[in-house]
Structure 1
Amino acid sequence: METLDHAIAKSPFYRHHLGAFRHQVKSVDDLGLLPTIGKEHLARHGLEMRTSKAFPIRFGISSGSTWGDFRPSEPVDSLSSLVDPAISFQTLQEMEAMRHIQQRLFSQDSGDKDLILQIISASHGIRYETSEDGYIHTPLESPFHYAHIKRLLRTQFDFDGYHPRIQNVAGGLNSIKLLSELIRHDPEREKLDLQLERVLVYGHHLTRFWNRRLEEIFACPVLNIYGISEMSGATGFQCGCGSFHMPPFIIPEVISLDQTCRPVTQGVGELVLTALVPFTEYQPLIRYRTDDVVLQNDACPQVPDMGILPLGKKTKTIQGSDYILPSFLLDEVLEKVPWVPKKIAEKFAVFFNSQPYGQPIYTVNHRPEKRLPVEILIACNTPDRPSASEQARVVAEAGEKLLRLDGSKVNQPLIELIVT
């Protein structure tokens, strides 16, 4: 395999980490014979993973959704508890390959390239980069930023070879939610005259509720993307079967959630990804454990490759002896409940009449010794506590999201809801 030979020959880390296993790997089917790497390797050995000392065009750090801010084993009481994030790299050649693929994806209807408004966020990976083909980068972290975005969306540009209007908006789900709510409450909404063809969201689970809401506000299809910021090109779009499919230069595997790391061919496990050259040459990632819990789906009628349905981060997923409660699916239940508090952007709260739009706020504890081992704690955000029947309805809906490790449903009560 070219990717493996390239990494072992030119990367000090992989020469030590994989050199002894090279003779065992004859094809892609043998990847499972290699040891995995994780975020701890990327943080500690990221520089050693490089295959060149040439200056890259892009520096990035791991996103907060993947790593969190503090080490879980230490109290969050000082700067000494901060995690040690990893730095990832990308070369100009790798970026150009990605640009070509992305523009082919966006600009299918005519010879003109699409203009893409990319909302960047410091809470979902930080990248320092040159301009990208057709991309207009902007933050959304103050009211002025929103005014800037409005101006961009209604401007008629005249760049050679590009559509005159922005037709695509892309960003992390929370940023896109924020933008949609600003537009929804904007008294000048009609003057925007949006001419969008698609909105692309990533970073968090896009629920059916928010998919419908975003499509209504933006008046165009909303495409859900799965990806990890550490790996260039590790981006999968959700297809009609409901699952996500990785591009052909990314090899997905699923391994068990326990320490054995055995291959999982059906059901629930942790996603492991390998990026192939030439799309990832500078800093190879071979059998990289994403910390993402996924459900496999190999029954897609359109794409023969393995499909995955992300269920949430492994560290945020409750796992029993033979069942799990995925955080993404629990969000799907709780985000619709009005008395469950939601995260909001404080700087914009005045524009929303304090209507929350963000992720639901709750705590889940696992108590294996209890008859109802899954405890969901919610601090009610309304003056009146929800009725017993309303709480029972939430428990029932949350219970429907429990999964066996083989992907089947759990048909027994395991959840206790505590509202304070």
Structure 2
Amino acid sequence: MQTTLTEQRLIGLARTLTRVRADSPFYRGLIPDGDIGPDDAPGLLRQLPWLDPAGWASVREQLRTSTFDGIATGFTNGTSGTPKAFYSTEAERAALRSSRVGDGRRRLQLVGFNHGAVVGLDLAGEGDFVPLLSMAYFDLAADLIANGSADGSRIRVLAGTARQIKDLTLHMQQRFGDISGFGIDSLEVGREFLSRGWESRLREWWGAEIDVVYGFSELRMCNALKCRTCAHHHFPPSCVAEVVDPADPDRYVPLGGRGSLLVTALYPYVEFEPRIRYRPGDLVQLAAQACPKWGEPGFLPLGREAHCVASGEQGGFVTTADCVSTFADLPQVAVSPRHLYPDADQRHYEAGSPRFKIVDEADGPAVRVELRFDPQVWPQEAQAVADAARKSLPAGVRVILHGPGQLEDVTLV
């Protein structure tokens, strides 16, 4: 009889808890003696403390399960901050390699959501890697897609963050015009929010499928692919996820609810520095029912907890996802170009993220939005933005419109 995805997770969780109890000084006194089976694992997990990035770093030495012999050092790519060092064992790297099912298609990785894969995990053989550090690299990536790799094979999968793929797409359209004939059949978009408008554009312009991936630097084996059946994200069998009340992590949220994500990466994918009940700081929304394909509910990313504000509606929060879905495809809303390339010009402006900021004011939550024009000069166009927000955002959330350059400290996605 074939095991379900949930059963695989529980088997892995029991093995992980057994392992860290024996080898990690931090967990040795927190997990009671005795055999740990799949049925026992969820209750034991729930009794363990959760650790955020600061808490995890403070007890890092006690978390480790072995000595540094045979340990490889890698670094995250720094897409969301300063690159961080991480360590991995050969068992971790072997588990990651064996779990990756190649489909024979040549890939072009723009170095985004597979954090640290090139530098530390021996996974660089799966395709070409081009970091978009300057416009010269844009041309290099464009030439690879248009002409093929050095061995004559053609790129079939383009992978990177939403911003990287949008930037490269506009660059290639300016160089070649129609890009649908280059043979790209899949875009793997990771880490950032992709609006419905941009998802539709990318699908039409490239003539390709869109695969959206959610992940984080600290948990490189826990990237969650958006399911084409239920349109929610599912973590792979290498981890277990919990969704808890941000104000009371001992309480799980119900199906369809919103809450903080806790992730446990399973042995042997994380061996040397275990992350158990790790709270990366992201809000998610659980699906209202189980996915018919995978037999368990998926989730939707909502944004960083620090960028969201509590409200009395919509599961208790106004989130980055709410605002992106409301404002990202409105042409009246200004965008942040976020140029990372020294020789870039305004050609990629439209690939930027909508300029907004969620604030908790004295009379309740509000969203401040920057327009491309002065709302006093163009009142009807500004009213269209307010009307769209009223239909989409949680009830009672005020929308405050600003003219160009008037909104500081926007939420970047």
1:105-143 superposed Cα distances (whole Å, 9 cap, x missing partner): x40xxxxx2221111259977973345231322111211
Question: In the alignment, is residue 208 of structure 1 matched against residue 222 of structure 2?
Answer: no
- Of 382, 388, 391, which aligns to 1:397? 388
**Which residue of structure 2 aligns with residue 77 of structure 1?**
none
Corresponding residue of 2:345: 350
Among 98, 101, 104, the residue aligned to 2:99: 101
The 5 Å alignment of 1:260-299 reads 260-266=249-255, 267-297=257-287, 298-299=289-290
What displacement does 1:175 show?
A: 1.0
Task: Report the Cα offset of residue 308 of structure 1.
Answer: 0.6
1:416 and 2:399 aligned: yes
Q: 385-394 vs 220-229, which deviates more?
A: 385-394
Is 1:304 equivalent to 2:295 in the alignment? yes
In structure 2, do the counterparts of structure 1 residues 365 and 351 end up closer, same or farther at CA, with 3 Å as the change threshold?
Answer: closer
TM-score between the two structures when normalised by the length of structure 2: 0.81
Equivalents in 2 of 1:223, 1:275: separation in Å? 23
Relative distance call for 1:43 and 1:256 in structure 2 (3 A) is same
Q: 1:23 to 1:388 in 2, by over 3 A?
A: farther
Whether the 8 Å contact between 2:77 and 2:112 is mirrored in structure 1 is no
Decide whether the 8 Å contact of 1:333 with 1:398 is kept in 2: yes
Q: Deviations over 1:198-255 (max 9, x none)?
A: 1101111222111111112222111001112211321111112111111122111110
Distance 1:23 1:264 in 2: 29
Counterpart in the other structure of 1:80:
none
1:165 corresponds to 2:149: no
Q: Residue 279 of structure 1: CA displacement?
A: 1.9
Asked whether the 8 Å contact 2:70–2:90 carries over to 1, the reply is no
Bigger Cα displacement from structure 2, 389-398 vs 214-223:
389-398
Amino acid at match of 1:145: Y
Check conservation: 1:143, 1:348, Cα contact below 8 A.
yes
Say which SS state the counterpart of residue 331 (structure 1) adopts. helix
- The whole-number CA distance in structure 2 between the counterparts of 1:39 and 1:167 is 36
Query: Match for residue 405 of structure 1?
Result: none
Comparing 136-145 and 21-30, the one that deviates more: 21-30
Decide whether the 8 Å contact of 2:180 with 2:207 is kept in 1: no
In structure 2, the partner of 1:144 is: 136
Work out the CA distance in 1 between the residues paired with 2:26 and 2:70: 19
2:56 corresponds in structure 1 to 42
List alignment gaps of at least 5 residues for structure 2. Answer: 1-13, 404-413
> Aligned pair 1:10/2:23, yes or no?
yes
Q: Any gaps of 5 or more consecutive residues in structure 1?
A: 70-84, 108-112, 403-409
User: What is the one-letter code of the residue matched to 2:399?
Assistant: E
1:168-210 CA-partner distances (Å, limit 9, x unpaired): 1111111111111111222x34589521121101111222111
Q: SS of the residue aligned with 2:160?
A: strand
Separation (CA, whole Å) in 2 of partners of 1:228 and 1:22: 34
What's the offset of the Cα at 1:379? 3.7
Q: Is the alpha carbon distance of 1:255 and 1:152 closer, same or farther for their aligned partners in structure 2, counting shifts above 3 Å?
A: same
Q: In 1, distance between residues paired with 2:113 and 2:235?
A: 25
> Which residue of the other structure, out of 356, 366, 386, is the alignment partner of 1:362?
356
Over the matched positions of the two proteins, sequence identity in percent amounts to 24
Root mean square deviation of aligned Cα = 3.1
Correspondence for 1:117: 108
User: Separation in 1 of the partners of 2:179 and 2:65?
Assistant: 51
Per-residue CA shift, 1:348-377, capped at 9, x if unaligned?
65361x64211112222112x41xx22222
Preserved CA contact (<8 Å) 1:56 1:90? yes
SS in 1 for 2:184: coil
CA deviation map 1:369-394 (0-9, x unaligned): 41xx2222234333675744443433
Pick closer, same or farther for the CA change 1:114–1:38 going to 2, 3 Å: same
State the alpha-carbon separation in 1 of the partners of residues 353 and 380 from structure 2.
Answer: 24
